[in-house]
């Protein structure tokens, strides 16, 4: 029995170094019988429905150009750019199989081409443990590209391990809108007659009250 107890202890220590979904076997020297000891599986610790993640980030750099022709024939150009970025995001949910099982950001690592471009943060959730995976806005390239990597979760001293493949797609567009403005006609000088008017100019009417006309003397008749 002493050897059997020692064997059980050795197997329990070995459990951290083997995959969780395998079964260990050992042979006792006392009864020469084969015993099997299951180390359990990942589903006995945390459950997740996510087997792979694909995220898409969208970048649109819209250019608006206004070209204006001057009276001397020269052309001026005003260019304005509007940048719109939508980061790719995903949620990763784990359901612990025991109340004392927990995961945090420290249990998650990102490898591959996406190692330095993803942000991982834990979010509040009523059910399970939820992590938000997002493309770091500061690391988004203005280019069409596909990057791949993995999210690795390790917990309980290595007893639980999980690897999830990740594909990160970035799409980039640069539409350009050009507006042409014609040259402006010279402005009219103040007080100058408008040559385009179909009516001739009339002399200005006198202003003020007109002076009264002189009285004409009436001849008198002799009586």
Please report, for the domain that includes residue 58, its CATH number: 2.60.40
Assigned domain for 199 exists: no
Q: What is the mean pLDDT of residues 159-179?
A: 96
Domain count, the chain: 2
Assigned domain for 144 exists: yes
Looking at residue 25, its pLDDT comes to 43
Looking at residue 71, its pLDDT comes to 82
Assigned domain for 193 exists: no
Say if residue 62 is in the same domain as residue 103: yes
The answer on pLDDT for 29 being more than 60 is no
Say if residue 155 is in the same domain as residue 59: yes
Beta strands 129-135 and 75-86, pairing class: unpaired
Assigned domain for 111 exists: yes
Closest CA to 154 of 116, 110, 122, 118: 110
Say if residue 56 is in the same domain as residue 89: yes
Minimum mean pLDDT range among 29-33, 51-55, 70-74, 92-96: 29-33
Assigned domain for 223 exists: no
Residues 155 and 43: beta-carbon distance below 8 Å: no
Say if residue 72 is in the same domain as residue 137: yes
Backbone torsions φ then ψ of 11, nearest 5 degrees: -70, -40
Say if residue 99 is in the same domain as residue 24: no
Helix (H, G, I), strand (E, B) or coil at 175: coil
Query: What is the overall mean pLDDT for the chain?
Result: 78
CA distances from 45 to 21, 129, 160 (A): 12, 13, 7
The answer on pLDDT for 78 being more than 60 is yes
Report field, pTM of the whole predicted structure over 0.85: no
The answer on pLDDT for 48 being more than 90 is yes
Length, in residues, of the chain: 223
Say if residue 157 is in the same domain as residue 55: yes
Domain that holds residue 135: 46-179
Looking at residue 20, its pLDDT comes to 44
Rounded distance between C-alpha atoms, residue 35 and residue 25, angstroms: 6
Assigned domain for 71 exists: yes
């Amino acid at each position: 029995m002493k050897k059997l107890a020692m064997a059980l202890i050795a197997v329990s220590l070995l459990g951290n170094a083997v995959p969780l979904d395998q079964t260990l076997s050992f042979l006792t020297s006392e009864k020469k019988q084969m015993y099997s000891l299951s180390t359990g599986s990942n589903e006995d610790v945390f459950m997740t429905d996510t087997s792979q993640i694909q995220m898409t980030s969208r970048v649109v750099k819209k250019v608006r150009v206004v070209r204006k022709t001057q009276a001397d024939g020269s052309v001026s150009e005003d260019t304005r750019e509007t940048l719109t970025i939508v980061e790719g995001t995903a949620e990763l949910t784990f359901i612990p199989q025991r109340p004392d099982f927990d995961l945090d950001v420290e249990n998650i690592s990102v490898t591959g081409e996406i190692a330095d471009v993803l942000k991982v943060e834990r979010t509040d959730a009523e059910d399970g443990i939820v992590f938000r995976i997002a493309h770091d806005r500061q690391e988004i390239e203005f280019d069409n590209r596909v990057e791949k990597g993995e999210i690795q979760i390790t917990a309980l001293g290595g007893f639980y391990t999980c690897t999830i493949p990740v594909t990160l797609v970035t799409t980039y567009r640069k539409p350009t809108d050009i507006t042409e403005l014609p040259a402006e006609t010279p402005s009219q000088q103040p007080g100058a007659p408008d040559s385009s008017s179909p009516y001739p100019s009339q002399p200005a009417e006198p202003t003020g009250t007109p002076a009264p006309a002189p009285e004409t003397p009436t001849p008198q008749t002799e009586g």
